[in-house]
Structure 1
Amino acid sequence: MEGTYVKNLICKVIYKSESNNWDNAVMEWEIIDCEEDEKCSEICICGKENIKYLYTIKNMCNGNILYPVGSSCITKFDRKDLREKTSLMESQFKLLHAVEEGKFLSLSVELFSRKLLLWLYEEGAIYSRWWRR
């Protein structure tokens, strides 16, 4: 079944891309948003059911949008920058849920990666006169 999902993904991405070649087509896309479906009721563009993280990706060459794309499909693009962005976005949801649940937050790797801390700093959520990039 995994093969069918990959074939569906490849067909839909190439159809909405300028390039007719997978290796080039994946370079045209960027993540522009992510939502979390705690009920896991959505279906990825590849056909996989029960996805939790719903990514919106945009083709930077022609403006086409694909939604919802699951995090497993994002990894199929085989791009380090997209894998890092999915990791960052999903860690933001994890942190948000910890705050919503009133959990005690400590600077541990369970909730805070270096990338997440840097993102929080760059977004203005953390201020430090000593922290410089």
Structure 2
Amino acid sequence: MTKVRETMDENEDFEIEQTSMTDDVEAAHEDGVAKAPPLEAVLSPLLFEVVQLSEARTFTLARHEWRVGNYRLLEEPSGVCVCTKTGLIHLYEIYNVKTGATLEPIGSECIKMFGEDRMLEEAAQLRELVQLQKIAVDRVPLDLKGHFSKRVLAGLFLHGAFQPCYANGYDAERDYEFLLGQFNKRSKPALEEIRRVDAILRRGNNSVRAWLLRRAEEYGDSIEAPFLEKGGAA
């Protein structure tokens, strides 16, 4: 956590410098200074694109308009970020909630550059869901304490992985809350609880495993944020 905080602090300093330069350039253009440098000459490729696709005209304000909308895991380190960094395997698409614009591919370090905790959480959640999907595809039995986290369980619920059925009284949230309770439980579970966990995670077409396999077949090693799947930004 300290390392992330330090990275974000460094990016804030960089951002202030970049923003100041941008404001100077904009002011120069407004004052009719013919030799004012274009914005693309002042900002990095990513920051320039972010500002161009936002309502706000400086990165300091524009960064608040963006969310992480999609994640892809590459088999080889062949990805190239908008910032021009190469050798990436974790690629994200970001989405502007005000303009509807999207920007990709974005690397993990550039997600941190926005300094938005929500974006960091969204990126981590999408990444962990794809990792869980790969575990299911590899036919490894899903283990609640070994393969899941609170973040993953919340992501599964948001994505609709828990299906309404007779066993949960046609209320999918009950399965999510039950698994969350079992995940947090320190004492040894009862036999009935073990059987219910097994049913939710691994048994039948309504299980989490079945949902993960269906997604893997349809989308491969990628996943969209729930607010994009539902056709809008939250």
Distance 1:128 1:94 in 2: 23
Map 1:1-133 → 2, pairs under 5 A: 7-108=44-145, 110-126=146-162, 127=172, 129=174, 131=177
Quick check: 12-21 or 120-129, which moved more? 120-129
Identity %: 27
**Alpha-carbon displacement from aligned partner over 1:54-75 (angstroms, at most 9, x marks no partner):** 2111222222221111121111
Higher helix content, 1 or 2? 2
Question: What one-letter code is carried by the residue in structure 1 that aligns with 2:126?
Answer: M
Alignment TM-score, normalising by the size of structure 1 = 0.81
Cα displacement (A) at 1:97: 1.2
Structure 2: where are the runs of 5+ without partners?
1-13, 15-42, 163-171, 181-234
Instruction: Name the SS for the 2:83 alignment partner.
Output: coil
Structure 1: where are the runs of 5+ without partners?
none
Bigger-Rg structure (1/2): 2
Distance 1:81 1:98 in 2: 26
Number of positions where the alignment pairs a residue of Structure 1 with one of Structure 2: 128
Segments ≥4 residues shifted beyond 6 Å? none
**Alpha-carbon displacement from aligned partner over 1:30-82 (angstroms, at most 9, x marks no partner):** 22222221222121000011221221112222222211111211111111111
Distance 1:125 1:77 in 2: 30
Cα displacement (A) at 1:128: 6.1
- Tell me the C-alpha RMSD between the 2 structures: 2.4
Higher strand content, 1 or 2? 1
